[in-house]
Amino acid sequence: MNNTFRKIAYIISVLIIALVLVSFDFTLVYATSKTDLQNQQSELDEKINQTQTELAGIKDQMSTQLTQINRLNSQISEYETELDQLEGQISTLNSEITTKEEELKAKEKEFDDRKSILEKRLVALYERGTTSYLDMLLSSESLSDFISKYYLISELAVCDNELLDSIEKAKTAVEVEKTALANKKAEVEQAQTTAQRKKNTLDLTKNEKTVIVNNLSSEEKEKQALLEEFEQDRREIQLELAKIAKKHGDIVPVAPSEAGYGTPLPGKTKSNITTGFYGYANHGGVDFACSAGTPVQAVKAGEVVTSKALKRADGSYKSYGEYIVIDHHDGTMTLYAHMLANSRTVQNGAWVSQGQQIGQVGSTGNSTGNHLHFEVRINGARVNPTQYLP
């Protein structure tokens, strides 16, 4: 029995080492001395321990119920973000409608004023009886009187034509403004309908979550509170970065193949990623497990728009912990999280160059082992970073 157990344990150990070797793309280099072999063994042992620690932490925290709650939290956050955007769109449209209504009133007044002038002119002509422009010319007492009356009649004719033309243009402008106003109001109605549908879906999702929360154990509820905290922080960060991106105007994000990103860690490539991108609801970035203190560097030149430590009231780290966001002014931003306490070397507003050190790898915030969490964001929203990395 003992021999069988030892064989099973030995096989499991070999499999773990093999998996780690594949995950980290670890290649043993020819060692010229015993010291080199010992150093390589130490590095391998450290990677195995880090991997086991992270897997154990994730498995310990994410029960079936908590996994469902995490998914629902992400959906709720997405719906709330979409609602924020729709409400912003509705607010903008309502503001545009107010402007259009004011423009329409001005155009209608202009039309009414010109129409009134024409009507007065017609009334005046009517009150003169059957006298025509020809009668006026024939009644001239002299050549100079004839010329004067002819000039006056010509000017009146020009004024009448210009007045008629201006009335027609004012009428057309009023119709254009009315059409634009109707279109804006239709957009508002459509946005409001979409928003109501999103709200209904949001309410259903929250109700589904409440049912699951009510069945959690006390220990799971504590972990659920951490998930809620993390999701709230992520949402606030996303909204903040979306506002920053909006300041630049409509920038078409650079294509991944043309982004020119370097690596966030010296000597690491995407083949060294230990936890991949699984979408917003699960893992919105990629992780590189490595030793504490490893330099973290900017993947591309840009402006530091966020450099802070997320902490609770008691001073303990939460969520992303020590993190930095860099705006590359090409439609993309990058986020570096869970860095070593007090290791950030750049502050808000600083301009960094590609490859410049901005901090060190750590395990602050919602983390179970030393690693760098790396994200790429477009308009505040997370996208798969793997496609951008070398």
Q: How crowded is residue 361: how many other Cβ atoms within 10 Å of its Cβ?
A: 24
In a domain, 110, yes or no: yes
Confidence of residue 341 (pLDDT cuts 50, 70, 90): very high
Q: What is the DSSP string of 48-98?
A: HHHHHHHHHHHHHH--HHHHHHHHHHHHHHHHHHHHHHHHHHHHHHHHHHH
Look at residue 2 in the predicted model and tell me its pLDDT.
43
Q: Are residues 109 and 48 in the same domain?
A: no
189-212 pLDDT, tens per residue? 888 888 888 888 888 888 888 888
In a domain, 356, yes or no: yes
Question: Hey, which of 233-242, 288-297, 377-386 has the most confident mean pLDDT?
Answer: 288-297
Q: Which has more pLDDT, 246 or 286?
A: 286
In a domain, 109, yes or no: yes
**Domain span holding position 40:** 2-55
Contact (CB, 8 A) for 365 and 321: yes
**What is the average per-residue pLDDT within 253-269?**
95
Question: Hey, which of 9-13, 66-70, 334-338 has the most confident mean pLDDT?
Answer: 334-338
Look at residue 138 in the predicted model and tell me its pLDDT.
56
Q: Are residues 33 and 128 in the same domain?
A: no
Q: Are residues 265 and 379 in the same domain?
A: yes
Contact (CB, 8 A) for 277 and 375: no
Look at residue 363 in the predicted model and tell me its pLDDT.
95
Where are the alpha helices (H) located in the chain, listed in sequence order? Answer: 2-23, 34-61, 64-127, 133-138, 143-214, 218-247
Q: DSSP 3-state assignment of 265?
A: coil
Check pLDDT > 70 for residue 154.
no
pTM: 0.56
Q: Are residues 261 and 347 in the same domain?
A: yes
What distances in angstroms separate CA 33 from CA 30, 37, 42, 81, 342, one per listed residue?
A: 9, 7, 15, 58, 37
Contact (CB, 8 A) for 266 and 373: no
In a domain, 219, yes or no: no
Q: Are residues 266 and 384 in the same domain?
A: yes
> Residue 302 is which amino acid?
G
15-44 pLDDT, tens per residue? 444 444 434 443 333 334 445 544 544 444
| Domain at 384, CATH number | 2.70.70.10
Check pLDDT > 60 for residue 173.
yes
Contacts of 343 by beta carbon, 8 Å cutoff, 6+ apart: 293, 296, 322, 359, 360, 362
Look at residue 140 in the predicted model and tell me its pLDDT.
55
In a domain, 336, yes or no: yes
Q: Which has more pLDDT, 173 or 286?
A: 286
Confidence of residue 361 (pLDDT cuts 50, 70, 90): very high
Check pLDDT > 80 for residue 169.
no
Q: Are residues 257 and 382 in the same domain?
A: yes
Q: Are residues 28 and 145 in the same domain?
A: no
> Residue 254 is which amino acid?
V
Q: Are residues 263 and 372 in the same domain?
A: yes
Q: DSSP 3-state assignment of 126?
A: helix
Look at residue 288 in the predicted model and tell me its pLDDT.
95
Q: Are residues 117 and 197 in the same domain?
A: yes
The sign of the CA dihedral 163, 164, 169, 173 is: positive
Q: Are residues 262 and 370 in the same domain?
A: yes
In a domain, 225, yes or no: no
Q: Are residues 41 and 126 in the same domain?
A: no
Q: DSSP 3-state assignment of 324?
A: strand
Mean pLDDT of the chain: 76
**What is the average per-residue pLDDT within 275-290?**
73
Q: Which has more pLDDT, 135 or 211?
A: 211
Q: DSSP 3-state assignment of 203?
A: helix
**What is the average per-residue pLDDT within 352-375?**
95
Domain count, the chain: 3
In a domain, 280, yes or no: yes
Q: Which residue in this structure is represented by tokens 């179970």?
A: 368
Check pLDDT > 50 for residue 292.
yes
In a domain, 69, yes or no: no
Q: Are residues 94 and 47 in the same domain?
A: no
